[in-house]
A = this chain, B = another copy of it.
């Protein structure tokens, strides 16, 4: 018997894409029930949305602070256990802080915070309550990404010696090449969007993918950003040389002006015995390659996959699962953690990943500003 976990939602109302992604993901394994929410800063709209998706309105609060206050009055067995933070970025920090301090578990969208400093504060807050925090590097929920992690851990490609990852999109082209648009859109306004556009939004996913799959830590980086126009102050493209352990080098490439690319996250990991290649847009194919043996294509759901991978597949081979399923897997892992069940530490990206991501973003900005020099991560 598994009582559904009581989930609160912050943000994600209306036509929010991130909203539907989290709702579907939470329900995927019959683990969660949405019991409370602030879907929208406007309380009326928040209530209307609750009615639209037909959930009870009694715990649709007028704002975040009220939610915390009122929920804390409820007996523990009725109270929201975990909140998903889907709000604009600058709200992640105050919300996560208050939630963690009050013993709520947190599932947080990325970018985690607006500064590395904030991330450290949250890390400390979490340490005190031992609440679960998951940062939604959604792509780690794909079965074949999990398979990479487990294969590398098991030595399938030997000692890793080179990593090459990219995350290429082209969507900002429609803005950046228009002088009017690029000077007015909030996305490219450092005051509103923070210190980085491309790296903070997608480069950090690529960074996380390297560390998630290889189990190695990136130690120092050299970044070169591209702004395209002199009057643009935000990175829309960046290439980052990375150094991990002795002799292990890598490249992290990210772009929002890679014309015609949609959501092109792709990773290649090379070891002294083999190589692995995977692409997010075709997530159910993992290339396992060798210099002397035939190329192998691993696919989800087969018995030859690792337990962690198989745990993320619901149907037999040949039934493609996608990004909703990947996020569903992360929610499943969090559910296990909340319930105190055993779980593999690859089931969801924890606080450390969230903190390191902020460290990475700030370090790349620093490296680029200083003229493409090496900067150590903290």
* Chain A interface residues toward B at CB < 8 A: 1-4, 17, 20-21, 23-24, 27-30, 33, 51-54, 157, 161-162, 164, 166, 168-171, 173-174, 177, 222, 224, 226-229, 237, 239, 241, 247, 249, 251, 253, 255, 257-264, 268, 270-275, 280-284, 287-299, 302-304, 314-325, 328, 372, 374
Closest Cβ of chain B to A311, distance in Å, is 13
Tell which of B17, B51, B224 touches A222, judged by Cβ atoms closer than 8 Å. B224
Contact A324 B314 (CB under 8 A): yes
Expressed in whole angstroms, the Cα–Cα distance for A297 and B299 within the complex equals 14
A177 to B274, CA, bound (A): 13
User: In the complex, are the beta carbons of A17 and B318 less than 8 A apart?
Assistant: no
Is the beta-carbon distance between B290 and A259 smaller than 8 angstroms? Answer: yes
Number of copies: 4
Whether the Cβ atoms of A283 and B320 lie closer than 8 Å is yes
Contact B274 A259 (CB under 8 A): yes
Bound together, the chains give a CA A228 to CA B161 distance in angstroms of 7
Q: Are A292 and B304 in contact (CB under 8 A)?
A: yes
9 contacts between A and B (CB under 8 A): A4-B54, A17-B314, A17-B316, A21-B315, A260-B295, A261-B289, A262-B299, A263-B317, A280-B320
Q: A263-B317, A280-B320 are in contact. List 12 more A-B contacts (CB 8 A).
A: A20-B29, A20-B314, A24-B314, A30-B54, A157-B259, A174-B291, A241-B241, A251-B251, A259-B273, A260-B287, A264-B318, A294-B304
Q: Which residues of B contact A3 (CB under 8 A)?
A: 54
List, in ascending order, chain B residues with CB within 8 A of A173's CB: 272, 291
Contacts of A1 in B (CB 8 A): 51-52, 54
User: What is the bound-complex CA distance between A27 and B53, given in angstroms?
Assistant: 10
Known: A249-B226, A323-B320. A302 touches B296 (CB 8 A): no
Q: Which of B54, B222, B282 contacts A320 (CB 8 A)?
A: B282
- A168 CB to closest chain B CB (Å) equals 8
- A264 CB contacts on chain B under 8 angstroms: 318
Residues B296 and A296 in contact, CB atoms below 8 Å apart:
yes
Q: Are A291 and B259 in contact (CB under 8 A)?
A: yes
Q: How far is the CA of A258 from the CA of B237 in the complex (A)?
A: 25
Whether A320 contacts B319 by the Cβ 8 Å rule is no
Pick from B162, B170, B275, B324: contact of A324, CB under 8 Å: B324
- Bound form: Cα–Cα A260–B274 in Å: 6
In angstroms, Cα B296 to Cα A298, docked, is 9
B320 and A281: CB pair below 8 A?
yes
Measured CA separation A241–B171 after assembly (Å): 23
Assembly CA distance A318 to B265 (angstroms): 9
Return chain B residues, CB-CB under 8 Å to A20.
29, 314
Contact status of A30 and B17, CB under 8 A, knowing A162-B255, A275-B259, A297-B295:
no
User: Within 8 Å CB of A283, what residues of B?
Assistant: 320
Smallest beta-carbon distance A258→chain B, Å: 5
Shortest Cβ gap from A248 to chain B (Å): 9
From A291, which residue of chain B is reached at the shortest CB distance? B170
Taking a contact as CB atoms closer than 8 A, the residue among B4, B253, B292 that contacts A164 in the complex is B253
